[in-house]
Structure formats: structure tokens, C-alpha cells
Chains A and B, each alone.
Chain A
Amino acid sequence: MDSREIETGRALEITDLVKRYPTGTEALREVSLDIETGEFFGLLGPNGAGKSTLIHCTTGLAQPTSGSISVFGHDAIDDYGDARLAVGLAPQELNLDWFLTLEESLDYHGGYFGMPKKARKERTAELLEAFSLSSKKDDRTQTLSGGMKRRLILARALMHRPRLLILDEPTAGVDVELRLELWQYVQRINEEGTTILLTTHYLEEAEQLCDRIAFINDGQIVAQGTSPELSAE
């Protein structure tokens, strides 16, 4: 059975989201956004537009000033437990723990999300294999090449089998070969039923991968729709 058939409804529902920093900077201005289950959604915008802030608010790394965020119907701000279980985040920065090996990185992540030991072990082996990292499993993360680090971050985000995968500029600064490789991975992940929110500032990337795209600029959604709809506009 196609896992897209398992769930319907909204994977992410953001309503009137405002994020104002103590400095007074308003990074998000009443942003509202809906992503349907199973969708591959692109959030396109220039640097500083508010893409990462929106993601950080969704994943608990930033605290919204006002508004609401719901992940598969679960509140992601106050009663965030179920919402965070459903989300996997692959951040823009290569934020791997230098002290850990690849295997430990995945194992601890699974632990943080409450996965039992046996499930963690199986899933770790599965993902290291899938991302061609098995031979490096006992190496410390700091010894990896940039491309391997990027793959490990994607594997870590998938470790707890999230239903919504958030990719924050996964291809920023990577070479063409790795970009194509990452595209193949994320397309397959989406085909297997995981909803994806991808932020990027490459129009080509959004058009190539996404079912729908929203443009964000200066903290506001300025347009959204499918690629042909936006082209027509």
C-alpha cells in the first residue's frame, strides 16, 4: 500500500505567525502556510527573507511571538511533544557533534526521539547503508568530507521516521554532483510517503522538485501555488 494513502489532511498548518526578535527586527509578519500530507513543498526566498526563522519556529529552535503552528494536527509551540516526533530537520549548517561517530550520531538522535535500542540499531544500519556511509560508521563526524556530512545530516533527520521532513537549504554551497545526488534522495523519500518542506533560494531547485512553491520575502509570503500557476502570474 502506498503510504500516501495512510494519511490525509494537513501536515503543516501555520497561521498568522509573527516572530519579532528582542532587537525589534520582525523576521516573520503574520505568515500563514498550509502543506498537505504527502506534498513536496518549496519555500523560496532570498537570504534573510525569513525561511530559516519559519523552520526554527516549527521545530522549537525559535519561539514565535504570536500565531500558531500545527503539525499533523498537533500543536508545535506549547504542547509540542507529538509535533516534534513527527518532524525531522536537516538544517542548513553542518551541525554535527564532533565528539560522536557516525553511528553514535544516529543512535543518540533516535534516543532523543524515544526509539528503543533494537529499533535504533536496525535503523542506524539501514540509513548508513542507504547513504553509503557504512564504511565510516566508527569514524568521528569531524573527519568526514562536506558531502558525507550533508548525507549524514539527512540520515539523522530521517532516523526517527518523521512524517514531515524539513530541509533547510540542503544544497546551498554544494557542488553539482552532490546536489543531484541529494535531489535523488529527497525525491525518493517523498515518493515513499514523507511530506517534505524544502527551503531554497534556487528557483530551478524548487521547480524541479516541488509540487507547490511559496515565495517569502521580508518576512511575508508574497505568492504561492504550483510552478505553472506562479509562472502564469
Chain B
Amino acid sequence: MRTSFGARPKNDRAPLLSLSAAQIRFFSLVRRECNRFFKIKRQTLGAPLLETFLYISVFGAALGSRIDELNGIDYVVFIIPGLIMMAWAINAFTNNASSILQQKFQGAIHDQLSSPASPTQLLLAFSLGGFLRGGIVAVLTFTAATILVGVPVEHFLILVPSLFLVGFFFSQLGVLVGVRAEQFDDVSFAQTFVLQPLIFLGGVFYSASLLPEPFRTLTQFDPVYYMIALVRYGFLGYSEVNIALSLGVLTAATLALFLVNLRLFSSGYRLRA
């Protein structure tokens, strides 16, 4: 079979569909990111779900039988908003950091970097991969928790933007660590020694108001504490923090992180020689 390898006049390949070339490019970049985690879904979706289920079982069933209620809320129900937030945050972070680092190792990222995609398109696509993976795990966790123990949604209009902001913030953090990382140890270090302590000590499994000093005050320096508080308020209507202020600061922090990453992508930091 004789096949044409060669160039054709430009108008021969004009798009026939309604999507513009830039839209096709962006969706292809996002599809690639989603395809990656769907192909290893036992690890990227199954494992986080099992982990969350184990937390609910161990903390809810074992510990919950002794604690009963926290701030007038059933203990199992009290911890679920934090678990949902944690699932979204950790999966968004891990996905993006791993995906970028793997592609840097393989050199496969050069395929995207040498395409006409702009730094903004590349950054948003890499960010959305983790954001969507985290979102899927969070929605499945919420669905399972609702069936198992019943989880109320008291403030939908606070809950949705809070979860989206948390997901996007940790997506950006994953991108930042993935771009900076030179080995897989860098990603594990950030996750194990920074992210998980901040999340666990931010009050996923307890109410900070019950902690003795100085731990109660120290918790207030943990940014994740405010994220958990926002999500918990959205679900349960209970909060220990100023909701408007927390939402404002989270929005500003997410935007700032996005701009930092955009600067890195525009300058080619550790992506282009």
C-alpha cells in the first residue's frame, strides 16, 4: 500500500468539526491525563476508596462506639467531611506530581511541550487530571458514606466551591512538586512529611476545639485546618472558623499558587532546557 507521508497544502486539513484547534488541543491534553489514571484505576481509584473505607470502619466503628458524639454530631458523620476532603486533596496532589515526574523521566512530556500548546493550556490540563481523579474518589466516597451512615448537606453553596477550591489548590501543589521534582523520592517526601501531617493534624478525625493548649493554637497555623472546617461546615453546618474569611483566603491562596505555576510553565523551569 502506498501511503502519503508527506506534507499537504495547509487547507487540506482544516478542521471540519465545530471545535477549534486550541480546544481540540486542550481536550487532548486533559484526555491524556485522565487516560493515565483510568488505565491504572486499581491503584488510582480503587486504593484510595479502600483506604477511606478502612478509615470509616476503624475510626467510625471502633473509635466511634466510645466517642459517640462530637459537638452534638455523631462521630462517624463528623469525620466523613474531612475524609472526603482528604481523598480529593491527596489524590489531586499525588496524581499530578506523579504524572508530571513520570513524563519527565520518560521524556514523553516533550511531545506536549513541543506542540503549539500554550503554558496556560499545559498547566490547566495537568491540573485537571488530578482535580478530576480526586473529584471522582470524593464523589464515590460521599456516595458510599451516604448509603452507609447518611451524610447531610447543610450548605450546598459553601460546600461545592470549598471542595472545588481545595481540589484545585492541591492539584496546583501537585503540579508544583512534579515540576520541581527530580526523583520519585521528592514526591514521596512532600506527601509523607508535609502533606499528610498537615491533613491529619488539621482535624480530620477530631475537633480542634477539644485539643489542649498549645495544640489548639498550633492547629490554627495549619492551613488545612481551615479547609477541613469549610468542608465540614458545608456538610454538617458546624464550624469553628470564620467561613467567609476562610473561603476568601483559600481562594487567594489557590490563585497565588496557580500564578506561581503559570510563571514556571512560561519560563520552562525544569521542563525546558
Co-complex (A, B): yes
Residue interface mask A70-89, B partner, CB < 8 A = 1:
00000000001110110101
Q: Are B3 and A156 in contact (CB under 8 A)?
A: no
A139, CB-defined interface residue at 8 Å? no
Q: Are B6 and A192 in contact (CB under 8 A)?
A: yes
Residue interface mask A89-106, B partner, CB < 8 A = 1:
101010111111000100
A174, CB-defined interface residue at 8 Å? no
A183, CB-defined interface residue at 8 Å? no
Would you give the shortest CB distance from B28 to chain A, in whole angstroms? 3
How many chain B residues touch A (Cβ–Cβ < 8 Å)?
43
Q: Are B39 and A99 in contact (CB under 8 A)?
A: yes
Q: Are B108 and A112 in contact (CB under 8 A)?
A: no
8 Å CB contacts to A: which residues of B98-117?
Answer: 102-103, 106-108, 110-117
Q: Are A116 and B19 in contact (CB under 8 A)?
A: yes
Q: Which chain A positions have C-beta within 8 A of B72?
A: none
Q: Which chain A positions have C-beta within 8 A of B21?
A: 113-114
Q: Are B116 and A96 in contact (CB under 8 A)?
A: no
Q: Which chain A positions have C-beta within 8 A of B117?
A: 112
B32, CB-defined interface residue at 8 Å? yes
Q: Are A104 and B35 in contact (CB under 8 A)?
A: yes
* Selected interface stretch from B9-17, B135-143, B190-198: B9-17
Q: Are A85 and B31 in contact (CB under 8 A)?
A: no
Q: Which chain B positions have C-beta within 8 A of A130?
A: 1, 3, 5
Q: Are A189 and B6 in contact (CB under 8 A)?
A: yes
Would you give the shortest CB distance from A57 to chain B, in whole angstroms? 9
Q: Which chain B positions have C-beta within 8 A of A60?
A: 113-114, 272
Residue interface mask A126-159, B partner, CB < 8 A = 1:
1101100000000000000000000000001010
Residue interface mask B31-44, A partner, CB < 8 A = 1:
11001100110000
Q: Are B6 and A118 in contact (CB under 8 A)?
A: no
Most chain B beta-carbon neighbours within 10 Å: one of A84, A96, A97, A158:
A97
Q: Are B19 and A129 in contact (CB under 8 A)?
A: no
Q: Are A61 and B273 in contact (CB under 8 A)?
A: yes
B3, B7, B25: the one within 8 Å of A162 (CB): B7
B contact residues vs A (CB 8 Å cutoff): 1, 3-9, 13, 15-17, 19-22, 24-25, 27-29, 31-32, 35-36, 39-40, 102-103, 106-108, 110-117, 268, 272-273
- Other than the given A81-B116, A112-B25, A114-B21, 10 more pairs (CB < 8 A) read A61-B273, A91-B107, A96-B108, A111-B28, A116-B15, A116-B17, A118-B16, A127-B5, A161-B8, A194-B5
